[in-house]
Structure 1
Amino acid sequence: MAPIDLKEFALKEQKLSKRLLFPETQKGPTPIWKILGAHYLDFLAVAFFTSFSAAVFNQSIKLFMNTKSLRLAFDEHATLSLASSLLPMMLFSYFFLSYFLNQGQTWGMFTFKKRMKMPSQSFRDAFYWAAHSLFMCLTGGLFYLAKREEWQNLQKHDYLYHEMLLHREDYSIDLLKRIDEQEVVEEYARAA
C-alpha cells in the first residue's frame, strides 16, 4: 500500500477513495523465481539449523569421551548421517508449523512478501502445503512443474495494511464512574 498524504484531503474536506484504502491486488501469477527463492531460503535455514544441532551434539558427546579408547571408538560421521536422515522430518516440521501457526507464511515467503491463501490454523491445509513444500525442496524445484496451478495460490501480503487498518474493538473507560466508585469505598473505610 502506497503512503497517502492526508493533509490534502483534510484541507479540501474530501473523502478518501476506496482504491487508496485497500491494498493493490496482485496482477498476474506469482513469478516462479519468487516461489523457488522462498523455498531455497527456507531449505537453507533448516539445513543450517540441522547441521548446527548435529555439530553441537558431536561436541557434547566428545566431552564425555574421557579415555583414549573411547575417543578412538567415537565416530563423528555417525551423528552427521543421523542429522542428514532427520533433515526431511525437520523440513516437514518447519513447513507445517510455519503454515499452521503463521497463517500460511514461512520465513522465505516473508522475505519475498508472499503468503498462502488458507484459513487460519487449518490443520488439513497446513499438512497439504507442508507436504508440497517438502517435495519441492527435496526435488530441487521440479515438483513445482507438476503442481504449477496450485502454487498460484500465493497472495501478496502487506503488513502495514493488515496491522494498521484492521478493525479493532474500542473499549473506552468511563473515568468519572471509576472515580465515584473509588471515593465511595474510601468513605466506607473512614467510617469503619
Structure 2
Amino acid sequence: MKELSLHLLDIAMNSVRGEATKIDIDVMEKPSINIFEFSIKDNGKGIDKEMLHQIKNPFTTSRTTRKVGLGISLMDSTCKLCDGTFDISSEQGVGTKVVATLAYNHIDRPPLGDIATSLMGLFASYDQILFKYKHSYEDNTFLLDLDEIKKVLDGMPLSHPDVYQWTLNYINENINDLKKESDNKLTKTTLDKTK
C-alpha cells in the first residue's frame, strides 16, 4: 500500500469484522522528535492467543474468503523498514489495540495520503459504529467524535451527500489548521530567539 491512510483503513476494517461497536483512531505526527504514529483501539471480540501469536505471518488470516492476510504483515514490514515498531495487543471479549510507529523523516515512510476520504468511507459505511478520530501535529490536537455529530444530525446518515461532504471538508480543514498553527508557533519562536 502506497499510503498510510490505506493501511489504517485496512486495520480498522479488522475492527469492524471483529464486531466492534466503538473504534478509536489516533494519528500523531511529531516531526520535531521524528515520530509518526497511529493507533486503532476497539471493543470488539478480540483475538485468541494462538492467532495473536501468528498474526504478522502473511499466511495467517481469520477470513474464510482467502488464505492470506497481507495487511498486517505489510504494515509490520513497513514499520521495521522505517525504524519503527508494530504492536498488537488483544483480549478476547474486551477488544484489540494496534499501534504503528515509524520514523517521521525516514525516506521510505509512505505519506499519510488522503486520510479524510479513507475515514469518511469507513464512517459512512458503518454508521452504527461509534468512531472517534484524534489527529495530533506537534502540540496541537483535533478530535472528531462522531457520536456528537450524529446527535446534531438527528437521524440523518453520514452517507447523505451533504453530510458526507461537510464532514470530509471539516476533517481536511482541521488537519490543515493543525499544521498551520504549529508552523506559526515555530516561526514565532524562531523570531523571538533572534530578538
TM-score (normalised: structure 2): 0.23
Higher-strand-fraction structure: 2
Higher-helix-fraction structure: 1
**Larger Rg belongs to:** 1
TM-score (normalised: structure 1): 0.24
